[in-house]
């Protein structure tokens, strides 16, 4: 497909998004611990002209039959919520499972989940971790510190661990049970797809309700105690502790500065996780809303803001970059243009110069990550600036001013101007 030239180019730069609300006018600090699949940078490039108000307004939402909904596509469960009588309300919540039967039927939700052990090869779950990713990319666990004021929420910091998530806890139980069976019975359960599926489902339940496991492959005659589970997962709990501590440190807060702790996502129901967070913060987690529903309810509030069902002045949300943005420079080094935890929206100017006689274009490579080396960071994409007036020998080379603007939705817009002529230059996605 041929590239097209525009006067502006937009990159999607995802960041952690949360939508808490409060009826209190007192400023509060809330620690959010959320389990989710997260990608360090999306290669998605939105080729559209920059709106004049892009720095202030969110992308408009068009209501369908008078309703706008917020959707949480969760790893284990997916939920849909909407605003009803001024309050976010869950419409539906189902398992994030899809299956294909031998007769060609497509099963979704509970129906798909119930037949998973009998149809493991054609049943799909936990697929969220693969959305928009390379196969080698993994889950992350993210902790966020948010300052809450009346009708306002400001992200202070966000910290993630790419090797920490609910599936990691499940795998510890699966591996332990499989090893126990292989040692005692000489049977390798990991080679039996149906038994492995059944075991995986049992592990998911077990991490919440230890020592009670309601269903396991019939060959298994032992189940882990809670103490054994916590021993198996001790390093994961240590990783979680470090992630929470780093999140506070980046926010320049102490644990006694946190007013409330909010756990988000199904895996936060693990007793060991709850106990760890309580021990660290000295506070019982806020359990007024089910952890599996909080994302969808928050999305419903934001949907209400975008559609006009919720007055914008009644709720303001300020997000921040979870990772720095930068540009590739000579020697494979990244030049940072927007730092980590920069409050959104924001913009930055960079000036480029041509280096060769007659040069009429410049290629710019946008990156996301914390390393100073290009190869260690995530590529968000490249673009070419065309239409530069070709400077001749012994004439000062052209200087191009490039403005990088990132809006509240994490959309990075790029515009280029020839400083000599003042003209806007064409930008082409590569």
Report yes or no on 393 lying in a domain.
yes
Report yes or no on 233 lying in a domain.
no
Residue 335, Cβ neighbours under 10 Å: how many?
13
Euclidean distance between CA atoms 375 and 110, whole angstroms:
43
Q: Which residue has the higher pLDDT, 96 or 190?
A: 96
Query: Is residue 179 over pLDDT 90?
Result: no
CATH code for the domain of 343: 2.60.34.10
- Compute, in degrees rounded to 10, the torsion defined by CA atoms 26, 257, 315, 11: 160
Query: Is residue 267 over pLDDT 50?
Result: yes
Q: Which 3 state secondary structure label does DSSP give 183?
A: helix
Euclidean distance between CA atoms 137 and 406, whole angstroms:
25
Residue 59 has a pLDDT of 39
Residue 394 has a pLDDT of 56
Euclidean distance between CA atoms 110 and 97, whole angstroms:
8
Beta partners for 417? 401, 424
Confidence band, pLDDT 50/70/90 cuts, at residue 58: very low
Are 145 and 248 contacting, i.e. CB atoms less than 8 angstroms apart? yes
Query: Is residue 163 over pLDDT 70?
Result: no
Report yes or no on 112 lying in a domain.
no
Look at the chain and report how many structural domains it folds into: 1
Reported for 247-250, long-range contacts at CB under 8 A and 24+ positions apart, including other chains, are 247/31, 247/143, 247/144, 247/145, 247/157, 247/158, 247/159, 248/31, 248/145, 248/157, 250/145, 250/156, 250/157, 250/159, 250/341
Are 174 and 199 contacting, i.e. CB atoms less than 8 angstroms apart? yes
Q: Which residue has the higher pLDDT, 115 or 392?
A: 115
Question: Tell me: the pLDDT tens digits for 365-422?
Answer: 888 888 889 989 988 888 888 888 787 655 667 788 888 888 877 788 888 888 877 7
Are 378 and 133 contacting, i.e. CB atoms less than 8 angstroms apart? no
Do the bridges between strand 97-100 and strand 106-108 make them parallel or antiparallel, or are there none, so unpaired?
Answer: antiparallel
The alpha carbon of 109 is separated from its chain's Cα centroid by a whole number of angstroms, namely 23
Confidence band, pLDDT 50/70/90 cuts, at residue 107: very high
Reduce the secondary structure of 35-62 to three states and give it as a string: EECCCCCCCCEECCCCCCCCCCCCCCCC
Report yes or no on 193 lying in a domain.
no
Average pLDDT of the chain? 73
Give Cβ neighbours of residue 2 (< 8 Å, ≥ 6 apart): none
Report yes or no on 225 lying in a domain.
no
416 is in which domain, residue-wise?
325-429
Are 142 and 158 contacting, i.e. CB atoms less than 8 angstroms apart? yes
Query: Is residue 171 over pLDDT 80?
Result: yes
Mean pLDDT to the nearest integer, 340-345:
80
Are 20 and 263 contacting, i.e. CB atoms less than 8 angstroms apart? no
Q: Is the peptide bond before 277 cis (omega within 30 degrees of 0)?
A: no
Report yes or no on 29 lying in a domain.
no
Q: Which 3 state secondary structure label does DSSP give 114?
A: helix
Report yes or no on 414 lying in a domain.
yes
Report yes or no on 425 lying in a domain.
yes
Query: Is residue 92 over pLDDT 50?
Result: yes
Query: Is residue 106 over pLDDT 90?
Result: yes
């Amino acid at each position: 497909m041929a590239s097209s030239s525009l006067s502006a180019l937009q990159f999607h730069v995802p960041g952690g998004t949360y939508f808490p609300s409060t009826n209190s006018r007192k400023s509060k600090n809330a620690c959010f611990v959320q389990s989710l699949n997260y990608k360090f940078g999306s290669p998605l490039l939105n080729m559209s002209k920059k709106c004049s108000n892009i720095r202030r307004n969110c992308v408009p939402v068009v209501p369908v039959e008078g309703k706008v909904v917020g959707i949480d596509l969760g790893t284990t469960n997916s939920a849909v919520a909407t605003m009803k009588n001024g309050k976010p309300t869950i419409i539906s919540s189902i398992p994030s499972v899809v299956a294909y039967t031998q007769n060609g039927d497509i099963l979704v939700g509970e129906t798909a989940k119930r037949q998973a052990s009998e149809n493991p090869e054609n049943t799909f779950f936990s697929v969220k971790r693969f959305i928009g990713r390379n196969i080698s990319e993994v889950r992350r666990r993210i902790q966020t510190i948010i300052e809450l004021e009346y009708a306002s929420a400001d992200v202070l910091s966000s910290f993630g661990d790419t090797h920490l998530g609910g599936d990691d806890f499940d795998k510890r139980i699966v591996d332990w049970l499989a090893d126990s069976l292989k040692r005692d019975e000489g049977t390798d359960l990991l080679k039996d797809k149906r038994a492995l599926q059944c075991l995986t489902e049992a592990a998911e339940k077990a991490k919440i309700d230890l020592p009670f496991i309601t269903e396991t492959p019939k060959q298994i005659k032992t189940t882990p105690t809670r103490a054994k589970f916590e021993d198996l997962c001790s390093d994961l709990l240590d990783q979680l502790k470090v992630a929470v501590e780093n999140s506070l440190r980046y926010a320049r807060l102490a644990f006694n500065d946190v007013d409330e702790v909010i756990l988000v996502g199904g895996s936060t129901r693990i007793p060991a996780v709850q106990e760890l967070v309580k021990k660290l913060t000295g506070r019982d987690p806020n359990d007024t809303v089910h952890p599996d529903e909080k994302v969808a309810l928050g999305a419903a509030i934001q949907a209400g803001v975008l559609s006009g069902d919720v007055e914008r002045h009644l709720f303001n949300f300020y997000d921040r970059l979870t990772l720095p943005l930068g540009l590739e420079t000579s020697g494979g080094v990244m030049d940072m243009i927007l730092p980590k935890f920069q409050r959104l929206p924001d913009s930055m100017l960079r000036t480029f110069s041509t280096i060769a006689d007659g040069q009429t274009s410049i290629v710019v490579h946008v990156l996301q990550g914390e390393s100073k080396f290009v190869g260690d960071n995530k590529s968000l994409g490249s673009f070419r600036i065309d239409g530069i007036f070709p400077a001749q020998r012994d004439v000062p080379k052209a200087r191009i001013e490039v403005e990088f603007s990132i809006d509240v939705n994490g959309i990075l817009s790029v515009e280029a101007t020839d400083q000599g002529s003042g003209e806007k230059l064409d930008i082409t996605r590569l």
